[in-house]
Structure 1
Amino acid sequence: MRILITGGAGFLGARLAREILKKGQLNGQTVSEVVIADLFPAPADLLADPRVKGHAGPMLEQGDLFKSGFDGVFHLASAVSGECELDFDLGLRSNVDSSRLLLDSIRASGKASRLVFASSVAVFGPDIGNPMPDLVTDTTLPTPQTSYGTHKLMIEHMVADYTRKGYIDGRSARLMTVAVRPGKPNGAASSFFSGIIREPLSGVDAVCPVDASVSHPLSSPGNTIHGLITVFEASREAVGGRMALNLPGLNVTVGQMLDALEKVAGPAVRARVKFERDERVAGIVANWSRGSTSERANALGLKAESNFEAIIEQYIEDCKTRPGYPAEALNGLK
């Protein structure tokens, strides 16, 4: 079985690749090759595996690779929310144009690959003609209020239509915001959801740009990867249609996140978080969902974490055992 992961050199993509290689199979079929396509080279531990082939460069220059025929595709490559707001053309190229190239290349290969597209909860947003409910569901009408969310929704519909035509066997899974991510902040407006946990645990002060009352659905990296693989392995009938489904998320406020941080790591660690409102970030976040449900994913056996303490504890364990987590990540606990 030959698998392609776009965005496979990034945090989630690399974790997904490691999990697939560890499993050694998908849908009962042996994974013989994992092709990682990204703007940057894949991590060294992945490239050291003889089953891995790395391809670095812009997706728009990798059409020949995408035409080579794959049994399965995980499409994670994307410019993130903050980048798309700051550079409109970059977002279109990196998200919409690259996805169209990928889908057309798979179509040209003549092999109707099973494809999972990593969409986002950012497809939801308030509109004067479509007020957003407190909890967005699989069937809530998406009216995104950012370019990033708009791109994700556009690609969801492309995946659904290419599936309708029989060019791919596609399914789109809407990821909740993933926390806690290791490393440095990225260009995503949601980056602070990880930063207010990650930085204090490393002994560094963190700035929270929104109010403590802000609520949002979050998921751990491990639960997110489990969701992507489960959606890939599920039958078309079990997935329940061509349109996108929500992956499970824990609906939690910033204040509850910090309460959990104090419970796990102590008051001194929590005290490293300072509130300094950033109107640009707060304005973006104000148009995001406050919580979600995931009935179709639940029917596949997927569920959210029971509390945010479990997500923090997963991060701490990951820092001790997983590649890609800096050695100083837990200096704040000493």
Structure 2
Amino acid sequence: MHVMITGAGGMIGRKFAESIANDDRIGDRTVETLTLVDIVPPDVATDFTGTRNVVEADLSNEGVAADLVARQPDVLVHLAAIVSGEAEADLEKGYRINLDGTRALLDAIRAAHETDGYTPRVVYASSLAVFGAPFPDKIGDDFFLTPLTSYGTQKAMGELLLDDYSRRGFLDGVGIRFPTICIRPGKPNKAASGFFSGILREPLEGKEAVLPVDDDVRHYHASPRSAVGFLRHAAALDTQMLGSRRNMTMPGVSATVADQIEALRNVAGDETVALIRREPDPTIEKIVSGWPRDFDVRRAREAGFTAEDSFEEIIRVYIEDEMEGRAPRA
């Protein structure tokens, strides 16, 4: 089996590629070829024992998508995107990368299908930002898409394209609406949600962190480990159970900022929590106020997707995966 990952240099792309290097079985098939695509050559999955291709490419450039699709991967995991805060700040760039790049990729698949019947599994990384307020207490998969950001609008358009091209038989799509991934390792990115990780990651490493919103802000989270699990499961899923509705919200943990901080206290103690500094940011507060808080994900659970059950579990996953099991103790 040939797996291609666009956006392979990003955090989730890197971890997914590394998981394949560690375990090359996806479902009942073996990954024999792994193609990693990003605008900067991704240096990941170097331990992969099969054929490993690294492609430096920007999907929004003319001809790039067709060249990638000509490799005919069996599974194409489309993670390439710019994140929420950057997409909101730079409208043109957001639509060029998040919409035009996605459509170019799907249209290249359509052209290949019409030529020789090529029909790959496409796993599309979407977002909770496709939903807009006012919200019910728990948002189900049948809740209408009314995004309140340009990023959410771009992702919603991608979802509709995935449904339509799957319906027409050009591809076999699975759309994954990721919870906010927490705790993200490494340096902060430009995502408006970055502080959710920062107020945990930095204190766990003995550094000060800035909290730009109130403690009562509630959001929906899953760990990077769960994100990789979503992708692996989607790559091998029997899509007959999905029918024409190919996009699903993944399982996660609904928690307030106060819940996050209390979980951090339970795991790492008061001195670690004391490293969080409150510094309100009206721009971030405005963006976050329009985000959903909790979800009814029965479709995803029925399809076999799983995630953590508590925020304390999310913190412990980070400690195990990124800190070799060592962290400040309560």
- In 2, Cα distance between the equivalents of 1:248 and 1:331? 27
Tell me if 1:194 matches 2:197. yes
Percentage identity across paired residues of the two chains: 39
TM-score (norm 1): 0.92
The answer to whether the aligner puts 1:125 opposite 2:132 as a matched pair is yes
**CA displacement at 1:27 relative to structure 2:** 3.1
Write out per-residue CA displacement over residues 250-303 of structure 1, whole angstroms, 9 at most, x where no aligned residue: 000000000000100010000101111101111000000011121111102333
**Superposition deviation, residue 231 in structure 1:** 2.1
2:169 aligns with: 166
Return 49-58 or 173-182, whichever deviates more: 49-58
Does 1:292 pair with 2:292? no
**Which aligned pairs between 1:224-303 and structure 2 lie closer than 5 A?**
224-303=227-306
Which of 151, 154, 161 is the matching residue for 2:154?
Answer: 151
Correspondence for 2:43: 43
The reply to whether residue 114 of structure 1 matches residue 121 of structure 2 is yes
Equivalent pair of 1:216/1:252 in contact (CA under 8 Å): yes
Letter in 1 for 2:130: V
> Residue 205 and residue 35 in structure 1: after superposition, are their counterparts in 2 closer, same or farther (change >3 A)?
same
Shift in alpha-carbon separation, 1:207–1:20, aligned structure 2, 3 A: same
- 1:25 equivalent in alignment to 2:46: no
Q: CA deviation at 1:58?
A: 1.4
Which residue in the other structure is 1:135 paired with? 138
* 1:303-314 matches, cutoff 5 A: 303-314=306-317
Return the letter of the residue paired with 2:256.
T
- TM-fit CA distance, 1:53: 0.8
Relative to structure 1, is the Cα distance of residues 29 and 303 closer, same or farther in structure 2, using a 3 angstrom cutoff? closer
Q: Is the 8 A contact 1:240 1:296 kept in 2?
A: no
Q: 1:223 aligns with which of 205, 226, 229?
A: 226
Distance 1:35 1:67 in 2: 12
User: Contact 2:126–2:155 (CA<8 Å) still a contact in 1?
Assistant: yes
Alpha-carbon distance, 1:45 to partner: 4.6
**SS of equivalent residue, structure 2 residue 124:** strand
Please give the root-mean-square deviation of Cα atoms over the aligned residues, in Å: 1.9
Q: Is the 8 A contact 2:219 2:254 kept in 1?
A: yes
Compared with structure 1, are the counterparts of its residues 218 and 186 closer, same or farther at alpha carbon in structure 2 (3 Å cutoff)? Answer: same
Contact 2:85 2:190 in 1 (8 A): yes
Change (3 A) 1:295 1:247: same
1:31-88 CA distances to partner (integer Å, 9 max, x unpaired)?
1111111111212553775522111131224221223211111111111000011100
Q: Extract unaligned runs of 5+ from structure 1.
A: 323-329
Contact conserved, 1:249 with 1:293, CA < 8 A, in 2?
no
Alpha-carbon separation, structure 1, partners of 2:6 and 2:150: 20
AA aligned to 1:304 is A
| 1:251 partner SS | strand
Contact 2:218–2:255, Cα closer than 8 Å, also in 1: yes
Q: Give, in whole Å, the separation in 1 of the partners of 2:232 and 2:44.
A: 23
Contact 2:124-2:173 within 8 A present in 1 as well: yes
**Aligned equivalents of 2:148, 2:72: Cα separation in 1:** 36
* Corresponding residue for residue 10 of structure 1: 10
Aligned length in residues: 323
Quote the Cα distance in structure 2 between the aligned partners of 1:78 and 1:114.
Answer: 19
Q: Secondary structure at the match of 1:37?
A: strand
Paired with 1:231 and 1:2, the residues of 2 have a C-alpha distance of: 15
1:27–1:331 Cα change, 3 Å: closer
Taking the aligned partners of 2:14 and 2:227, their CA distance within structure 1 comes to 13
Q: Which amino acid aligns with 2:128?
A: V
Which residue identity is paired with 2:123? V
- Give the superposition deviation at 1:232: 2.3
Would you say 1:102 and 2:109 are equivalent positions?
Answer: no
After alignment, is 44-53 or 156-165 more displaced? 44-53
Deviates more, 1:75-84 or 1:107-116: 107-116
Give, in whole Å, the separation in 1 of the partners of 2:12 and 2:231.
10
Match of 1:327 in 2: none
Question: 2:9·2:40 contact (CA, 8 Å) conserved in 1?
Answer: yes
Inter-partner Cα distance in structure 1 for 2:45 and 2:127: 28
Contact 1:107 1:167 in 2 (8 A): yes
